[in-house]
Amino acid sequence: MAMKIPRLLQAALVLIGVYVGFIVVFDVLLQAIIPSSLLAMYMFFVTAGVFMVFTYDEEGTRELVAPIKALVEDPSKRLIRNIVFVIVPLAAGAATYFQMQPSFEAPVELRTIHPAPPTTAKIYGKQVNLLKLENPFRELEKEDPDQFRELVDEGAAVYIRNCQFCHGDKLDGNGPYAAGLNPTPLNFQDVGTIAQLQESYLFWRISTGGPGLPKEAAPWISSMPVWQDFLTEDEIWKVILYLYDYTGHEPRSWEHE
Amino acid sequence: MNRSRSNKFRQALIVLALAVVTVALAFLVFDQVNAIAAEQDVAAETAATGNYGPAPKLTAADYPTIAGVNSRVAVWIFAQLHLWFAAFVLAVPIFVFIIEAIGMRTRDKRYDDMAYEFIKVSITAYSLTAVLGGLLLFSLIVFYPQLFTYMARIFKGSMFYYALLFFVESAALYIYYYGWHWLQGGFKKWVHLTIGLVLNAAGTTLMLLANAWLTFMMSPAGVDPAGVFNGDAWAAINNFLWNPINIHRFVANIAYGGSIVGAYAAFKFLTAGTQQERAHYDWMGYNANFIAICALLPLPFAGYYLAAEIYAYSQQMGITLMGGIFAWLFIIQAVLIGTLFLSANYYLWCGMGRSDGARRYTKYIKYLAIVLVGAFLVWFTPHTLVLTNEELKSLGGPYHKILGPLGIMPAKNTAVNVMIIFTALSFMFYRRANKTATVSWVNAGNAIQVALYTAGIANIMFLGIYHGYFTNTVYKVAASIPQVLTTLVVIAASITLDSFIYRRSTDVGPVHWGRIPARAQYALFLLAVAFTWLMGLMGYIRSGIRQHWHIVDIMRDTSPDAFTPTLGYAANVVSVAAILFMAMVIFVFWIAQVSTSKTLPAGYWKEG
Amino acid sequence: MTIKSFFLPFILALVAFAVGFLLLDLAMMNMQGLSLIFHN
């Protein structure tokens, strides 16, 4: 007869297994660690799920709870009970102590990566309505492909001279300076950055840079230069053309075609 | 002979009266719309003569205060309390109407009794809704008089008829409730049902009108940039976000109402004295959970549609909503929605114990749980991760290669569609638990069911992964439509197929109503509480994305309290409001119970 | 025997549903003015 693992132990093993599984998959196999905050949330709901599976019927619940009931109620288990009742508060105390201990770790920052753009902004000395702003060269993509190509190439030249040091020559946020920056330069290849945004948003970000970030994007520690002080308006628009052209993403359009 | 003729005469009179009421109601509604539209002609002149001025430019001094009262929090809490009760009293007539109709069809009195009990619960809630509406109105007039004046000048027609419509709703509700046991049997029952229809029509119209005012504040129409109204009241009502809010609120109300009456049934189950009572309230809880799940299934898409329309209207509002400061509140929303799904499913799984044949299906529960929890984890994974500095260094940036893509909508739409399908599957197992199929083609039928779910899930994943990550944003958003339709098709087709597979099926045994653990009732409580908290949170967000505008881009909010509060503060206000609401709901439940209890005081009354 | 009585209907139904769902996708994307497969 096969030895039946007590249900409580089954539940514990599942939880431990899932926890170890997350760590092995992310930290070891994929070489991209799973953040502890996320892991904590994941494990909370995995525990809820395990609880649900182990308690939906009366028989299973009775079996699950039996060891705990025995520990607490069974007179023959007095010795174990007393040991557990001493260890558990001590363990709780130790956990609390270590959590309350101050560390040299800098406090966690919660940055808003996608701050909402203002309706208007002062760029190149004039008030620009960001809701209505369009890339003046975008229409050439269909109307005059040859001229569009030229503009993209000009944008590429501006990018390589100015932007690739941080954002990388492959536009993946891995430029030579990237390792020294926090926050790190945006990866334009990622489907969650320029592919989700409108061109006016990029124009705003590029021309006003880090200092131009709104209140909700605190702390304003971005190293993004204020490019309107170094580039012309046309140059910025051409770089934007190049960003989309190189990565193959399309800017978020105003509405469905 | 005479009696039958006078009966017929009376019936004809009643039909005539009802027809007159219905037509009058229709006239009222359409006339109001026509009157509003006719105002256009008048308005064209008055606009030229400047009867409608621009939106006032206010300063902090224009906002009256009362010592010791935070006007913003007061309006916030009154509005939220009013919304919760309004959602409840609008939803209950919807499903009571349907349950009454089912009762009339099946001639099963249990349905009629349950419908009556639901409406009884909502009667007290109805007066509380009105009280809170009055409180809201007064606090708007007292604390934000210029805003209210401006809105009232534009919406004078709809506000006036809104107030009048309460007469219709009250009349319908009181006749519907108090006349329930009088209007029984045959023709009278049809009359009763029709009054229920009138009640629903009035209630829905009231919601549509109120929705117009709040969506106007978000996406104003019919006014020029200075706020001068052009007189077209219909344009102001039918603004960009009006219909998305209408759809979302209509469906969400039903789900919410189901969860509240489910909490009522759970409460009565836990306090039941007899086995019979327990069985009755167990059955009621099951039906309430069923209503909540039915409406919960299309709800994520209604919400996504609303958010997509907000984004389409204003990139700024859209980004603030989901990419900016409110983004973290959406993670809380995701967690609460997942909680709703898990609670509803847990209740179904616990409920399978009512049937002796459930053993055949309970072995699948762990797989359902694995998929549901897995999808839930994807559903709430944030795009911006909370990282310690060490983790930030290790990852090389705030983006995670693998988890990052789970943080944007295509993954989440896929996850939620999977959660919806598996909830429907839970329900299918529950229904099958007590049946044995007798058709010869059972195996083939089950094979087709498996194929249906497999193909459906594969399609959902294809649309989510391919269109979500390998196309552009237009395709990405557009693909959500076939995705949700796939889910709905799978659900509809599997229910239809099962009805054929289980044609002339035999029952394994009687359904043991009442044979369910107390834990399951707490799942129903959790459903109601999570829903309430979720609505409060979403209400705050919807209102908060206007930020420093009373009416976006038209009328600035310059009150001292116009700041966008910290997430923690907002969460606290929502929580306090939710606790107040829960207290009032308990009062409502208690009143429903007290109304049937009798005390016979010995020796109190005079003899004779 | 039972595997065959399950397997064959399963495969046929799977293909039928897969085709059906792809047609649904095509119709819904076309209704929005888009093609099913994205080409720039």
Residues from chain B contacting residue A179 (CB–CB below 8 Å): 396
Q: A249 CA to chain C: closest CA distance, Å?
A: 10
C36 touches chain A (CB under 8 A): no
pLDDT in tens, A11-49: 999 999 999 999 999 999 988 899 998 999 999 999 999
Amino acid A256: pLDDT: 39
Q: Are residues A139 and A37 in the same domain?
A: no
pLDDT in tens, B68-106: 999 999 999 999 999 999 999 999 999 999 999 999 999
Q: Of the ranges A110-119, B240-249, C3-12, which one carries the lowest mean pLDDT score? A: A110-119
In a domain, A256, yes or no: no
In a domain, A199, yes or no: yes
Q: How many residues are given for chain C?
A: 40
- How many domains is chain A built from? 2
Q: Are residues A160 and A238 in the same domain?
A: yes
Q: From CA A34, how far away is CA B249, in angstroms rounded?
A: 37
Q: Are residues A96 and A171 in the same domain?
A: no
Q: Are B253 and B91 in contact (CB under 8 A)?
A: yes
* A67, A100, A133 - which closes a domain: A100
CA-based max dimension of chain B? 94
B254 touches chain A (CB under 8 A): no
Q: Give the pLDDT band of residue B385 (cuts 50, 70, 90).
A: confident
B401 touches chain A (CB under 8 A): yes
Q: Are residues A168 and A212 in the same domain?
A: yes
* A66, A100, A134 - which closes a domain: A100
In a domain, A253, yes or no: no
Cis peptide bond upstream of A183, omega within 30:
yes
Q: Are B155 and B212 in contact (CB under 8 A)?
A: yes
Phi-psi region of C33 (alpha: psi -120 to 50; beta: other; left: phi over 0): left
C23 touches chain B (CB under 8 A): no
**pLDDT averaged over every residue in chain B:** 90
Do the Cβ atoms of C14 and B456 come within 8 Å? no
Q: B482 CA to chain C: closest CA distance, Å?
A: 5
Q: Are residues A85 and A158 in the same domain?
A: no
Q: Residue B443 is nearest to which of C2, C16, C21, comparing CB atoms?
A: C2
pLDDT in tens, B311-327: 889 888 888 888 778 88
Q: From CA B413, how far away is CA B480, in angstroms rounded?
A: 7
Q: From CA B466, how far away is CA B488, in angstroms rounded?
A: 20
In a domain, B414, yes or no: yes
Query: Would you tell me the crossing angle of helices B327-351 and B518-544 to the nearest 10 degrees?
Result: 160
Q: Among all residues of chain C, which has the CA nearest to that of A257? A: C33
Residue B46 has pLDDT above 70, yes or no: no
Q: C38 CA to chain B: closest CA distance, Å?
A: 6
CATH number at A141 reads: 1.10.760
- How many domains is chain B built from? 1
C34 touches chain B (CB under 8 A): yes
Q: Give the pLDDT band of residue B39 (cuts 50, 70, 90).
A: low
Q: Are residues A169 and A51 in the same domain?
A: no
Dihedral (Cα; B522, B523, B529, B530), 10-degree rounding: 150
A250 touches chain C (CB under 8 A): yes
Residue A189's domain comprises 120-247
Do the Cβ atoms of B474 and A106 come within 8 Å? no
In a domain, B448, yes or no: yes
In a domain, B530, yes or no: no
CB atoms within 10 A of CB A120: 14
A188 three-state secondary structure: coil
Do the Cβ atoms of C34 and A248 come within 8 Å? no
Q: From CA A188, how far away is CA B13, in angstroms rounded?
A: 73
CB atoms within 10 A of CB A86: 10
In a domain, B293, yes or no: no
Do the Cβ atoms of A256 and C33 come within 8 Å? yes
Q: Are B322 and A115 in contact (CB under 8 A)?
A: no
Residues from chain B contacting residue A53 (CB–CB below 8 Å): 365-366, 369
Residues C6-18, buried b or exposed e (16+ Cβ, 10 A)? beebbeebbeebb
Strand pairing class (B506-507; B549-551): unpaired
Amino acid B18: pLDDT: 72
Residue B580 has pLDDT above 80, yes or no: yes
In a domain, B261, yes or no: no
Residue A114 has pLDDT above 60, yes or no: yes
Q: From CA B350, how far away is CA A57, in angstroms rounded?
A: 6
Q: From CA B226, how far away is CA B554, in angstroms rounded?
A: 6
Do the Cβ atoms of A257 and C40 come within 8 Å? no
Size of interface B-C (CB pairs under 8 A): 75
Amino acid B3: pLDDT: 59
Residue B1 has pLDDT above 50, yes or no: no
The pLDDT of A77-92, averaged and rounded, is 93
Q: Residue A38 is nearest to which of B353, B398, B403, comparing CB atoms?
A: B403
Take residue A198 and report the two structure tokens written for it: 């409108």
Instruction: Tell me if the pTM is above 0.95.
Output: no
Which chains contact C through at least 3 pairs of Cβ atoms less than 8 Å apart? A, B
Amino acid A254: pLDDT: 56
The pLDDT of B162-176, averaged and rounded, is 94
Do the Cβ atoms of C5 and B444 come within 8 Å? yes
Q: Are residues A150 and A79 in the same domain?
A: no
Take residue B218 and report the two structure tokens written for it: 């978000």
Q: From CA A10, how far away is CA A30, in angstroms rounded?
A: 28
Residue B43 has pLDDT above 60, yes or no: no
Do the Cβ atoms of C33 and A250 come within 8 Å? no
Residue B495's domain comprises 356-510
Residues from chain A contacting residue B527 (CB–CB below 8 Å): none
Q: From CA B293, how far away is CA B287, in angstroms rounded?
A: 10
Residue A257 has pLDDT above 50, yes or no: no
Q: Is the ipTM of this complex over 0.90?
A: yes
Do the Cβ atoms of C34 and A257 come within 8 Å? yes
Q: From CA A86, how far away is CA A88, in angstroms rounded?
A: 6
In a domain, B436, yes or no: yes
Q: Are residues A189 and A135 in the same domain?
A: yes
Q: Give the pLDDT band of residue A77 (cuts 50, 70, 90).
A: confident
A151 three-state secondary structure: helix
Q: Of the ranges A212-216, B37-41, B438-442, which one carries the lowest mean pLDDT score? A: B37-41
Q: From CA B482, how far away is CA B171, in angstroms rounded?
A: 43
